[in-house]
């Protein structure tokens, strides 16, 4: 007779087979990472530029990023898109504080022609006034729409206070942002940070070596040696701020502080603490605030990483009437972790969960590459994750409590609410 | 080619097995043939609320998530107007924990008052977060009843109104479970590095003794053929005017579905598409414009939507939009343009099938449509479509009398 109340026996994960991408030097500073182990015809390549939002005056970096396919003297923006579409390419372009990335998703047979179209478009942007004007109008509209969202308002206010001591990281969009855009500013940022700012290339796909050689050859002529520098020692401004939004039926909450990244000795263990608190469905915050109280559709905590630092953040949207109650419960959960040891049972569950998630992050060539590059940014190899597995097997409830006391002091937190 | 095996248990459960020797994970995907279209009009939002309750503990297991997390796995689900789909992704060696959990909640739920009470609140917050507290968030709550008069697609998955969720009782919950959550109304797909015999043994072990139940008959109100142009204007505190043209289109099983899919791509999928080039780039009437299909199993919608630039009017847009449509109806598209649309579809499909979870979900969806192997036939169907087909359906679908137009007029612009 089947015993349905008894969980089947579990096996723990002790080892993960990582597949390391091949590495090629395009120049002395620009590297190409290549993952060939793809079972089907898909491929992706990413071009990374030292063109993040902190690199330029407000608005300019994100405008240049959005104008990369806006046309050259020989080709209109529509023609470039037609050519990309005719080869089945899907282009994505993104910008963060510290870098910008342009990615192309396509079939492997189309990687080279798409690479040529893309590099030609990006290397010869004409910055047509009409394209700039159109983008200013679109972005302005997008901005006005964002102002209607409490999540945007809270995130923006949080960013200003979190990066309080850094002018570059704390600057946020506002309406005069859009009056400030001139083609000469765009062009100069473009020259400095795109024409001379390519710093990394990633290729995933079952390509032959000649194809990689051709990519290196094409990109090689472009790359200029650059050294990248980043701010450190940024401090957040602790305390509460509320941003009023009339008519909102929910309040957005953002709460957190400046912390560290993978290079810090407490990183691996803090990831476990963060998971216990708010980074999985069974977390303390989800169990209490969603599954017990029903104040929200979701609440989570996270650790964001940059080159020289990281930050910790809790984010949620709650029913307006439960704003204070939610903050109280968040504080309660943090203090509980600082004063009470978590049970062995919960400790084991979180360990097993994180090991399973790491296994999943290494499933398939695309995930494997992303896992690798997120360690490589900080100068690590897959060794980093092997150490992670080791640390996970060693962590104790005492250590969780110690880190909660050390890093989650309520008085240090920047708290922003909007609603 | 996505290879799979199919077998059926005595209780009616359809099982698909997809072998992938490269993955260390297993996906257990369960599709229940029930969605918001199966609700009664005075109790909408129920299929989705119920999906939340499926995580509130089952008859022999008080907590669904903790044992799964302990096995290194995670789980989620979604509800649409057509189906409810649950999936677990966990390390392959712990497959039995997944089967244990999924089979127990197919057997029966815990049905606790506390779970119902809390999930009602969670879903109400979801309603607010996604539909009420977002600019344009309630558009589909307005557009559906405009486009559909009879068919239950006239309400959204989240429900017509919050009160329907507030009023859900334990009695409703139990009745819903007994009617729709039984083996004969489910399709299970397991994907991972296993042997078929092992999967057969494990599925029989965990699911074999679940009582069969009766597959509920589905008798839905058929949507009458639309004969007149419909239009509605709503005023909202949003930054710009927005428009939604909804054209009725054939159901998922109709071969014409694929033709209309391509038609929508030609109109407004990419930055090289007709509406984008004409209305955004050349005439600069809209700041955004795109065309897509809802992908629903019964008669669906082809939507053209976007936002107006400041100072532009709905009338200017309407004129320009119908010019593009009329051109599409008058002349056949070139082979070159069609090939451009086809290779995007092929590339997209190839990426979809790169992921194990997508493969498992799509196999279940195609099995629901009649045959899981449909997943392998799609490419050929698309390739067989000609400019003539598209021309024909452009004239069939893109008519005033087949169109419902929702305009969102911006008031109190927050300048």
Together in a domain, A354 and A248:
yes
On whether residue A228 sits in a domain, the answer given is: no
Q: Which residues of B touch A176 (CB under 8 A)?
A: none
In CATH terms, B5-207 corresponds, of 3.30.830.10, 3.60.70.12, 3.90.600.10, 3.30.70.360, to: 3.30.830.10
Closest in B71, B122, B205 to A356, CB measured = B71
Which CATH number covers residue A361? 3.30.830.10
- A267 shares a domain with A151: no
Give yes or no: residues A245 and A215 share one domain: no
Strand B25-32 to B84-91 pairing: antiparallel
> For testing the chain B interface, which of A294, A355, A392 should be mutated: the one with the most B CBs within 10 Å?
A294
Question: Which has more confidence, B132 or B322?
Answer: B322
Instruction: Tell me what pLDDT residue A396 has.
Output: 97
For the record, the structure tokens of A187 come out as 């062009």
B126 touches A: beta carbon within 8 Å? yes
**B161 to chain A nearest CA, in Å?**
15
**Mean pLDDT of all residues in A99-114:** 97
Collapsing DSSP to helix, strand or coil, A260 comes out as: coil
Q: Do B74 and A357 touch (CB under 8 A)?
A: yes
Kindly determine whether residue A78 and residue B271, on different chains, have CB atoms separated by under 8 Å.
Answer: yes
Spatial CA neighbour of A140 closest among A172, A173, A171, A178: A178
In a domain, residue A231? The reply is no
Are B347 and A318 in contact (CB < 8 Å)?
Answer: no
pLDDT at residue B414 greater than cutoff 70? no
- Residues of B (173-212) whose Cβ lies below 8 Å from A: 205-206, 209
CB nearest to B69's CB, from A5, A88, A353: A353
- Considering only CB atoms, B118 lies closest to which of A89, A107, A291, namely A291
Q: A87 CA to chain B: closest CA distance, Å? A: 7
Buried-state track A127-144, b at ≥16 Cβ within 10 A, e below 16: bbeebbebbbebbbbbbb
The residue from A191, A220, A249 where one domain ends is A220
Q: Which residues of B touch A150 (CB under 8 A)?
A: 133
For position B415, what pLDDT does the model report? 40
Q: What is the complex's ipTM, to 2 decimals?
A: 0.92
Count helices and strands (H / E) in chain A.
15, 11
**Rounded CA separation B365/B187 (Å):** 9
Compute the average pLDDT of residues B316-343. Answer: 97
Q: Which residues of B touch A92 (CB under 8 A)?
A: none
SS3 B390: helix
In a domain, A263, yes or no: yes
CA distances from B283 to A206, B274, B296, B328 (A): 42, 12, 33, 18
Domain check: are A315 and A183 in the same one? no
Is B122 in the A-facing interface, judged by CB distances under 8 Å?
yes
Q: Are residues A179 and A253 in the same domain?
A: no
What percent of chain A lies above the pLDDT cut of 90?
88
Residue A225 lies in a domain: no
Cα nearest neighbour of B67 on chain A:
A7
Map out the domains of chain B as residue ranges.
Answer: 5-207, 230-410
Look at B354 and A40 and tell me if their CB atoms are within 8 Å: yes
**How many interface pairs between A and B have CB atoms less than 8 angstroms apart?**
205
Yes or no, beta carbons of A150 and B135 under 8 Å apart: no
| B 254-313 near A (Cβ less than 8 A) | 270-272, 277, 281, 284, 287-288, 307, 309-310
Looking at the fold, whether A270 and A177 belong to one and the same domain comes out as no
CB B58 within 8 A of CB B110: yes
Q: Work out the pLDDT band at B132, boundaries 50, 70, 90.
A: confident
Query: Cβ of B326: how many Cβ atoms within 10 Å?
Result: 12
Mean residue pLDDT across chain B: 95
- The whole-number average pLDDT for the span B230-234 is 98
Which pLDDT does position A199 carry in this prediction? Answer: 93
**pLDDT tens-digit profile of A59-70?**
899 999 999 999
3-state helix, strand and coil shares in percent for chain B, rounded to the nearest 5 = 45, 20, 35
- Partners of A147 on chain B (C-beta within 8 Å) are 239, 414
For residue B283, pLDDT beyond 50: yes
Rounded to 10 deg, the angle between the B356-369 and B374-383 helix axes is: 80
Quote the mean pLDDT of chain A: 95
**pLDDT at residue number A225:** 67
Query: What's the pLDDT at A29?
Result: 84
Per-residue pLDDT, A217: 92
* Cβ-defined contact of A11 to B209 (cutoff 8 Å): no
Contact at CB, A362 and B206, closer than 8 angstroms? no
**A216 plus A243 within the same structural domain:** no
One domain, residues A215 and A244: no
Query: pLDDT tens digits, residue range B362-382?
Result: 999 999 999 999 999 999 999
Q: Which residue of B has its CA nearest to A349?
A: B70
Out of B75, B97, B271, the one facing A81 most closely (by C-beta) is B271
Q: How close are the terminal C-alpha atoms of chain A, in Å?
A: 55
Q: pLDDT tier at A180 (50, 70, 90 boundaries)? A: confident
* Judgement on whether residues A170 and A295 belong to the same structural domain of the protein: no
- What CA–CA distance (Å, rounded) separates A291 from A8? 26
Q: Tell me, yes or no, whether A257 and A336 share the same domain.
A: yes
Number of domains in chain A: 2
Q: Indicate whether A205 belongs to any domain.
A: yes
| Higher-pLDDT residue of B133, B30 | B30
**B71 and chain A in contact, CB less than 8 A:** yes
Written as one string, the DSSP assignment of B92-130 is: GGGHHHHHHHHHHHHH-B---HHHHHHHHHHHHHHHIII
Edge-to-edge strand ranges of the sheet holding B286-293: B230-236, B403-410, B242-249, B300-308, B286-293
Q: Are both B5-207 and B230-410 of the same fold?
A: yes
**Nearest CA distance, A275 vs chain B (angstrom):** 12
* Chain B: closest CA distance from residue A135 (Å): 9
The domain of A297 spans: 239-418
* Residues A105 and A46: beta-carbon distance below 8 Å: no
In this prediction, residues A6-31 reach a mean pLDDT of: 92
Quick: pLDDT tens for B186-207: 999 999 999 999 999 999 999 9
According to DSSP, residue A29 is labeled S
Closest chain B C-alpha to A303 CA, distance in angstroms: 20
Rounded (5°) CA angle B284-B277-A66: 75
**The pLDDT of residue A175:** 85
| Residues of chain B contacting residue A355, judged by C-beta atoms under 8 Å apart | 72
Residue range A188-220, pLDDT digits in tens: 999 999 999 999 999 999 999 999 999 999 888
Give the span between the Cα atoms of B379 and B376, in whole angstroms: 7
Which pLDDT score, from 0 to 100, does residue A222 have? 83
Q: How confident is the model at residue A363 (pLDDT cuts 50, 70, 90)?
A: very high
Query: How is A355-416 classified by DSSP, letter by letter?
Result: HHHHHHHTSSHHHHHHHHHHHHTTT--THHHHHHHHHHHH--HHHHHHHHHHH--GGG-EEE
CB–CB contact B71 A317 (8 Å): no
Q: Which of A82, A293, A361, A389 to mutate to test the interface with B (most CBs of B within 10 A)?
A: A82
Using a CB–CB cutoff of 8 Å, tell me whether B415 touches chain A: yes
Compare all CA atoms of chain A with the CA of B22 and give the residue at the minimum distance.
Answer: A364
Q: Kindly determine whether residue B73 and residue A362, on different chains, have CB atoms separated by under 8 Å.
A: no
Same domain, A263 and A374: yes
Residue finishing a domain among A186, A220, A254 = A220
Domain annotation covers residue A78: yes
pLDDT tens per residue across span B3-42 = 999 999 999 999 999 999 999 999 999 999 999 999 999 9
Residues of chain B in contact with residue A141, where contact means CB-CB under 8 angstroms, are 239-240, 287, 307, 309-310
Sheet holding A100-107, edge to edge: A22-25, A31-35, A198-205, A42-49, A100-107, A90-95
Minimal Cα–Cα distance from B229 to chain A, Å? 30
pLDDT in tens, A240-256: 999 999 888 899 999 99
Q: Has residue A4 been placed in a domain?
A: no
Question: Could B271 and A8 be called an inter-chain contact, meaning their C-beta atoms sit closer than 8 Å?
Answer: no
Q: Are A38 and A108 in a shared domain? A: yes
Domain B230-410 matching CATH 3.40.640.10: the answer reads no
Question: Is residue A44 situated within a structural domain?
Answer: yes
């Amino acid at each position: 007779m089947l015993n349905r109340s008894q969980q089947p026996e579990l096996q723990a994960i002790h080892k993960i087979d990582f597949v390391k991408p091949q590495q090629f030097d395009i120049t002395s500073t620009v590297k190409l990472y290549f993952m060939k182990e793809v079972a089907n015809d898909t491929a992706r390549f990413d071009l990374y530029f030292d063109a993040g939002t902190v690199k330029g005056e407000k608005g300019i970096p994100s405008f240049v990023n959005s104008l990369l396919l806006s046309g050259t003297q020989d080709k209109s923006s529509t023609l470039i898109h037609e050519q990309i579409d005719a080869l089945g390419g899907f282009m994505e372009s993104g910008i963060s504080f510290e870098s910008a990335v342009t990615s192309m998703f396509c079939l492997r047979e189309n990687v080279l022609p798409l690479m040529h179209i893309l590099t030609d478009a990006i290397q010869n942007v004409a910055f047509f006034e009409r394209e700039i004007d159109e983008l200013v109008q679109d972005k302005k509209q997008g901005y006005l729409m964002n102002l209607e969202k409490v999540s945007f308002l809270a995130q923006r206010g949080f960013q200003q206070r979190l990066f309080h001591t850094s002018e570059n990281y704390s600057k946020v969009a506002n309406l005069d942002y859009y009056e400030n855009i001139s083609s000469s500013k765009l062009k100069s940022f473009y020259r400095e940070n795109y024409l001379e700012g390519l710093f990394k290339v990633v290729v995933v796909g079952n390509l032959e070596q000649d194809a990689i050689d051709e990519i290196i050859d094409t990109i090689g002529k472009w790359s200029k040696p650059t050294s990248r520098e980043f701010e450190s020692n940024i401090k957040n401004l602790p305390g509460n701020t509320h941003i009023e939004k009339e008519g909102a039926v929910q309040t957005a909450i953002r709460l957190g502080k400046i912390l560290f990244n993978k290079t810090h000795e407490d990183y691996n263990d803090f990831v476990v603490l963060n998971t216990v608190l708010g980074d999985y469905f069974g977390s303390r915050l989800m169990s209490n605030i969603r599954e017990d109280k029903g104040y929200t559709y979701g609440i989570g905590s996270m650790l964001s990483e940059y080159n020289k630092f990281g930050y910790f953040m809790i984010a949620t949207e709650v029913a307006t009437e439960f704003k204070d109650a939610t903050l109280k419960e968040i504080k309660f959960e943090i203090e509980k972790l600082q004063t009470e040891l978590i049970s062995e049972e919960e400790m084991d569950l979180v360990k097993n969960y994180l090991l399973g998630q790491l296994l999943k992050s290494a499933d398939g060539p695309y995930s494997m590459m992303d896992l690798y590059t997120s360690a490589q940014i900080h100068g690590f190899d897959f060794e980093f994750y092997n150490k992670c597995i080791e640390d996970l097997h060693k962590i104790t409830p005492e250590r969780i409590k110690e880190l909660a006391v050390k890093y989650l002091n309520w008085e240090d937190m920047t708290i922003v609410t909007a609603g | 080619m996505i290879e799979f095996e199919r077998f059926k248990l005595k209780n009616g459960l359809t099982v698909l097995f997809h072998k992938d020797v490269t993955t260390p994970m297993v996906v257990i995907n369960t599709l229940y043939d029930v969605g918001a279209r199966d609700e009664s009009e005075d109790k909408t939002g129920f299929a989705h609320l119920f999906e939340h309750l499926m995580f509130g503990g089952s008859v022999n297991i008080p907590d669904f998530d903790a044992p799964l997390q302990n096995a290194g796995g995670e789980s989620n689900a979604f509800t649409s107007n057509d189906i409810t789909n649950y999936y677990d992704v966990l390390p392959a060696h712990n497959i039995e924990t997944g089967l244990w959990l999924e089979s127990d909640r197919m057997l029966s739920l815990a049905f606790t008052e506390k779970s119902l009470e809390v999930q009602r609140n969670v879903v109400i917050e979801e309603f607010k977060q996604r539909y009420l507290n977002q600019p344009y968030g309630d558009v589909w709550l307005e557009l559906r009843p405009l486009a559909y008069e009879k068919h239950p697609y006239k309400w959204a998955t989240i429900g017509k109104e919050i009160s329907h969720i507030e009023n859900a009782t334990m009695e409703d919950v139990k009745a819903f479970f007994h009617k729709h959550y039984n083996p004969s109304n489910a399709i299970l797909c397991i994907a991972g590095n296993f042997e078929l015999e092992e999967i057969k043994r494990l599925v029989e072990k965990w699911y074999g003794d679940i009582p069969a139940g009766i597959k509920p008959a589905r008798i839905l109100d058929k949507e009458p053929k639309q004969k007149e142009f419909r239009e509605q204007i709503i005023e909202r505190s949003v930054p710009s005017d927005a428009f939604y043209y909804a054209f009725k289109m054939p159901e998922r099983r109709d071969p014409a579905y694929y033709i209309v899919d391509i038609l929508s791509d030609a109109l407004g999928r990419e930055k090289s598409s007709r509406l984008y080039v004409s209305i955004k780039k050349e005439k600069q009437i809209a700041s955004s414009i795109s065309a897509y299909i809802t992908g629903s199993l019964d008669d669906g919608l082809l939507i053209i939507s976007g936002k107006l630039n400041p100072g532009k009017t709905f009338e200017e847009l309407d004129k320009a939009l119908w010019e593009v449509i009329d051109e599409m109806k008058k002349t056949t598209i070139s082979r070159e343009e069609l090939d451009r649309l086809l290779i995007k579809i092929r590339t997209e499909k190839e990426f979809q099938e790169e992921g194990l979870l997508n493969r498992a979900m799509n196999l279940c969806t195609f099995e629901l449509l009649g045959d899981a192997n449909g997943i392998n036939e799609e490419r050929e169907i698309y390739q067989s479509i000609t400019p003539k087909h598209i021309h024909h359906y452009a004239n069939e679908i893109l008519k005033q009398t087949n169109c419902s137009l929702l305009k969102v007029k911006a008031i109190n612009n927050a300048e």
